[in-house]
Amino acid sequence: MLTFPTHLFNPARIQARLAGSTVEGGESLSGQTDKIRTDGGGYWICSMSGIELNTPDLIRAWRAWEAELDYGVTQVRVPIADVRQAPRVPGSSPGALLAESTDPYFPEALGFAAPWIVAAVAAPADLRATELEIEVTTGAALRGGEHFSIEHGFEMNERTYRIGRVISRPSATRALVSIRPPLREAVTAGQAVNFEWPMFVGTLDPSVDTAPDIENGHATVSIVFRESFTPVAPEITGAAGPSGAGAFSAAGQAIARATLSASGTGSGAHTGASRINAALSASGLGSMSGNSSGLSTASGDLTASGSGAFSPTQRTIKGAAGSMAGTGAFSGGGAKKQGGALSGAGTGTAAIDGTTAGFTEDFTTSGTITVPSGYTLADVIVIGGGGGGAGGLSSQRGGGGGGASSITPNISVTPGESLTRTVGAGGAGGLAGGNNPGSAGGTTTLARGGTTLISANGGSGSGGLAGGSGGTTGGTGTTKYAGGAGTGGGNGGGGGGAAGATAAGASSGTSAGGSGNDPGGNGGAATGNNGNNYGGGGGGGDSATNGGTGAGGLIRITWHN
């Protein structure tokens, strides 16, 4: 499906509004007229005016689009160009604009060379939901009034929504917001949310005169699009020659092209909102990879025997019986999780299990965790609490040690079961005015009943002039890293950095805190600065300053299958 080139025609004014979202009853005896919100939420109307056609190329491009739109018959993607109101970091700017097409007049997709605003659905939501939780991992916090779109698949394609108010903020990057219209289709966690180029599928409003009235080689025109809900089905065409060569293309949500030769070799390219390139040799060897302007990625390899794996994200893959000599399986996370198997002498089946995409949660307090529905495995990182720095008197006092970390992938879990979490607290700093040591950081643990699944030790508190030692690797886990040690000296010593996912924490300098390994935090600097999240040791105090408090620990869980 083509995308109307709003960027090319650069309208001076754009208005996007919802129509048909309410119905009215008759006037009551009190003279009032009741309005009732419709279930479907109405449809978008996008008006673009003040379009200056001041070159022969622009005039020809406009005429070509008039013909292509065919008086409201042809469906196209309509960008509403609302980037000024998008959740972008102040002062930031996007990279180069990319239009996926060999013809600059008729792009198939629009996007920036590098992601400028990256966002995704944070929690599943049902069809016609009027609230949605969104996580913005690159960009600014949502405030209300922003437009975004979600690609729903071949039937609904891409649809635009407007944020009303921010209802709550579960975390610094997540917001639960009200939206209009209600969701056109159910969504799952991890689906890409497009704030950069929100768009909807629409057709030309033929009641608006779009013909340019050219005077001295110049014309000013307007155009209006109405949202369309005609299913966007793929169109398959093909031809076969004497040698067995053939080609097919699908027009709809994306364009796909492929050729196969008589020997069985071939290649294919799929472009659109998501891009997949593939090549298979006569022997069955090949690879498949892809990327998209959103969060979608795909990669995999197929072996000579036909076995292999294909793991895409952000797309719905539908399996069907096939013909392949060998066995194989594919699975994908994103819009839907799917699995299938091809086996035997050329027959096979594929199944969709409907499992939602994986996601990550952080826990910084103790309590219980209920395994979410649909997940059977957990990748877990735990970090112990940082030790507290010693209080100062006449002599210098040391910084506390950073917390250790433990990492265990693929812990088997059962949906709905309860796990016990204990997040190690940061050690308190010693009081100034005496030889007051800092307290040790607590141990962080994830357990099932009385069985510890994974644990990480906290850092030691500073006992005086010398810094506290970092948390040791005596915890439970597949991979374990020690926390950095605190240091004494100067006007108090810095706290040790916490260990993280890939390395141990660094010991502190004389006054500077040691660096933590992500997601472990840095140690606090001297003169009593607190340790940083997560697990950083507190800095030592000076002659009149309390020691810094160590930072609390962390449990980070990535649920998947």
**What's residue 108's pLDDT?**
78
Query: Which residue did the predictor score with more confidence, 1 or 426?
Result: 426
Q: Decide: helix, strand or coil at residue 8.
A: helix
Average pLDDT over residues 192-204: 93
β-sheet bridge partners, residue 330? 340
Query: Which residue did the predictor score with more confidence, 106 or 406?
Result: 406
**Number of neighbouring beta carbons within 10 Å of residue 39:** 8
**What's residue 531's pLDDT?**
92
> Shortest CA distance to 411 belongs to which of 439, 369, 446?
446
Average pLDDT of every residue of the chain: 76
Query: Which residue did the predictor score with more confidence, 78 or 356?
Result: 78
Query: Which residue did the predictor score with more confidence, 332 or 3?
Result: 3
For residues 339 and 350, what is the distance between their CA atoms, to the nearest angstrom?
7
> pLDDT tens digits for 171-182?
999 999 999 999
Question: What is the 3-class SS of 403-447, one letter each residue?
Answer: CCEEEEEEEECCCCCEEEEECCCCCCCCCCCCCCCCCCCCCEEEE
For residues 377 and 371, what is the distance between their CA atoms, to the nearest angstrom?
9
**What's residue 368's pLDDT?**
95
Q: Which of 38-42, 300-304, 392-396 has the lowest mean pLDDT?
A: 300-304
> pLDDT tens digits for 381-409?
999 999 998 887 655 678 899 999 999 99
**Number of neighbouring beta carbons within 10 Å of residue 377:** 14
Do 517 and 392 form a contact (C-beta atoms < 8 A)? no
For residues 445 and 441, what is the distance between their CA atoms, to the nearest angstrom?
13
Amino acid symbol at 304: A
Write the DSSP string, 38-85: -SS--EEEEEEEEEEE-SHHHHHHHHHHHHHHGGGTS-EEEE---GGG
Do 536 and 402 form a contact (C-beta atoms < 8 A)? yes
Q: What are phi and psi of 83, to 5 degrees?
A: -65, -25
Query: Which residue did the predictor score with more confidence, 546 or 337?
Result: 546
> pLDDT tens digits for 444-488?
999 999 999 999 999 998 877 788 899 999 999 999 999 999 887
Predicted confidence band at 39 (pLDDT cuts at 50, 70, 90)?
Answer: low
Question: What is the 3-class SS of 316-377, one letter each residue?
Answer: CCCCCCCCCECCEEEEECCCCEEEEEEECECEEEEEEEEECCCEEEEECCCEEEECCCCCCE
Give the range with max mean pLDDT: 100-109, 295-304, 544-553. Answer: 544-553
For residues 407 and 393, what is the distance between their CA atoms, to the nearest angstrom?
40
Q: Decide: helix, strand or coil at residue 515.
A: coil
Whole-model pTM: value is: 0.43
**What's residue 132's pLDDT?**
97
Do 138 and 114 form a contact (C-beta atoms < 8 A)? no
Q: Which of 156-160, 233-237, 409-413 has the lowest mean pLDDT?
A: 233-237
Q: Which of 21-25, 156-160, 547-551 has the lowest mean pLDDT?
A: 21-25
What are the residue ranges spanned by the domains of the chain?
6-26+35-227, 354-561
For residues 402 and 508, what is the distance between their CA atoms, to the nearest angstrom?
9
> Shortest CA distance to 187 belongs to which of 142, 159, 152, 163?
152
